[in-house]
Structure 1
Amino acid sequence: MQASLYVTLSAQMALEQRLNTVATNVANLGTAGYRAEEVKFETILSEAGGREVAFTTPGETFLSRKAGPLIKTDSPLDVGVQGDGWLAVRGPGGPVYTRDGRMQVTAAGDLQDLSGRPILDPGGSPLTVDPEGPPITIGQDAIISQGTNQIGALGVFRLDPAAKLTRVAGGAVASDRPGQPILDFNQRDATTVRVQQGFQEGANVNPVMEMSRLIEITRTFQNAAAAVAETESSLQDAIRGLGPSA
C-alpha cells in the first residue's frame, strides 16, 4: 500500500515539473526567438515486497531545437535565421547564442541586441557600423554592407546537437560546447542556413498544444490527488483495525 502511495506522489512531482514548463512556455508566446522547454522523464525500479515497483523521476528540462516561424517586419535591423544556426552576442562569461535577431545601433556605431549586448562576428569580435552611413543591408550569407562597402558579417553558429543549452537573460542560451561558425552558406541540403533581413523569429510554442497539455496535466493531477486521499484513508482504516478492541 505504501509503495502505491510513493508511486502516486512521484507522479505528482513529475506533473508539477510539466506544469511549470507549460506555464513558462505559455508566458513566452510573444517572446522573439524563444525556444520551448520540454521535460524528459525517467522511470526507476525499486524492490517493494518482493516485486518491482516503478517510480517516475521529476524529470530533466531541455530546450526544444525546433525553429519558430519567421515573421516579416521590414526593419533593416531585424534578421531571422533559417535553419539550425544561432546568432552570437557577448555575455558576462563569454559568447551566448540567440535566435532573436532584433538589433540596434548605438550613437558610436556599435551593433547590439535589444538587451544592449554586442553582436559578434564569426571570429567572436563585436561588430560596428557607420551610424551616419548608408542604410545597412544584410545578405543571406550574413554579410553586412553599407552602400557598396562590405563592413563585416554576422556571426552565425551551429551548436552541437548533444550540447546542453541553458537559458540566460535576454532570451539567449549558453552552451556547454562552443558553437562552430558557419562560413559556407552555399550548401543546398538539410543543413542549409540562411539569414533573412527584415524578419524576426517568433516563439516555437504551439499555444493549442500547450493548452491541451495544461488541461491534461490538471486532470491527471486531480486523479493522482484523489488516489493519494484514497490510499491515506485505507491506511487509516488499517491502523484502526489493528488497534485494541473495546
Structure 2
Amino acid sequence: MDATSYIAISGQGALRRQMDVVANNLANMGTTGYKAQGMLFSDYLNLPDRPGPKAGLGIRQVTDLAVTSDHSQGEMEHTGNMMDNALNGPGFFVVETSGGPRYTRSGTFAIDAERRLIDANSLPVLDDNDAPIVIPEDAGQLSISTSGEIESDAGPLGRLKVVEFEDPGTLEPLGGGLFVGNAVPAEAEATEVVQGMREASNVIPIAEMTRMIDISRAYQKTQNILESEHERQRTAIRELPRPRAG
C-alpha cells in the first residue's frame, strides 16, 4: 500500500472511532450521571523540504490513544424519590464488582432480594467500611444526610462511601456509567450527597451533533483524497510509455 493511502486510511479509522464515541454520547444523554467522552489523538506530521506551491504542506498520520471523559458536573434534577441521590462535587459512589471496587456518579439506588442497597447496574453499594449496605425490612423511609449517613426507622444503617480522586481524568470509563482506576482514592471532602435528586448527563446535544457533522465532512474529504490518489495511479499506469520489444 502506498504512503498516501496508508495515511488516509489511518485517518479514516480514527474518524470512525471518534464517530462511535459521539454516537455513544448521544445515546446516553438521558443516562443519570453519564460523563461525555472524547478521543485523545496523537499525530505525526512530516513537513518535507520542497519548493513550489506545496511548500509547507505535510503528511499527517493519526493514531487514537485513548477515550477520555469530561468530569464536569451535570445539571441537578429534582425527582422527589428518596432512593435517588446525586453528588454535588467531584466525588464518586463506590460499588462492589467481581473485579473489585468501581466508581460511579449515578445514585439511582434500589433494594435487591437480599435487602442490599444496589445501584442501577444491580451492584451492591459500599459503605465507608467497604461492606455492602443491608437495609432491614423494618427500615421504613430512608434518610440520607449530605455526608452520606443513612438513617431509618430501625436506626442508623451506615454511611455511603464517597471518594474523590486527585485527577479524575486517570479513571477509565466502563459500561453502565462505571469507572475504574489504579490511583488510590481519598475520602471525599468537597462532595455532598443530595437526596431526592439526580445528576443529569453532562452531554450537550447540540455540541455532539456539530461534532458528528464535522467528523462526517472530514471523513468525506479523506475519501475524496483516496479516490483522487487512486485515479492518479490509474492514469499514470495507463499513460506511461510501454517498453519497446527487442
Matched, 1:55 2:61: yes
Partner Cα separation in structure 2 for residue 124 and residue 224 of structure 1: 51
Q: Distance in 2 between matches of 1:163 and 1:175?
A: 10
Alpha carbons 1:106, 1:131 under 8 Å: kept:
no
Describe the shift of the 1:101–1:240 C-alpha distance in structure 2 as closer, same or farther (beyond 3 A): same
The answer as to 2:43 corresponding to 1:37 is no
> What per-residue deviation string (whole Å, max 9, x for no partner) do you get for residues 115-137 of structure 1?
22111012311112223123111
Q: Is the 8 A contact 2:68 2:169 kept in 1?
A: no
Unpaired runs of 5+ residues, structure 2, are 51-55
- Identity within the alignment, %: 27
1:26-57, CA deviations, whole angstroms, 9 ceiling, x for partnerless residues? Answer: 11112111112111111124587999633121
Whether the aligned pair in 1 keeps the contact of 2:106 and 2:120 (CA below 8 Å) is no
Q: Distance in 2 between matches of 1:173 and 1:35?
A: 10
How many pairs align? 237
Which residue of 1 is the match for residue 53 of structure 2? none
Counterparts of 2:98 and 2:117 in 1: how far apart (Å)?
A: 17
CA RMSD of aligned residues (A): 2.4
What displacement does 1:18 show? 1.1
2:226 counterpart of 1:220: no
Q: Where do 1:3-14 residues align within 5 Å?
A: 3-14=3-14
**What residue is the counterpart of 1:238 in the other structure?**
236
Distance 1:68 1:102 in 2: 15
Q: Is the 8 A contact 1:112 1:118 kept in 2?
A: yes
2:129 aligned residue (110, 123, 126): 123
Paired with 1:10 and 1:21, the residues of 2 have a C-alpha distance of 17
Alignment of 1:132-151 (within 5 A): 132-147=138-153, 149-151=155-157
Counterpart residue identity of residue 200, structure 1 = R
Change (3 A) 1:135 1:24: same
In 2, the alpha carbon distance for the partners of 1:227 and 1:168 equals: 36
- Tell me which residue corresponds to 1:17: 17
Output the TM-score relative to the length of structure 1. 0.86
Q: Which residue of 2 aligns with 1:152?
A: 158
Q: Is the 8 A contact 2:149 2:156 kept in 1?
A: yes
2:186 matches 1:180: yes
Q: Secondary structure at the match of 1:6?
A: helix
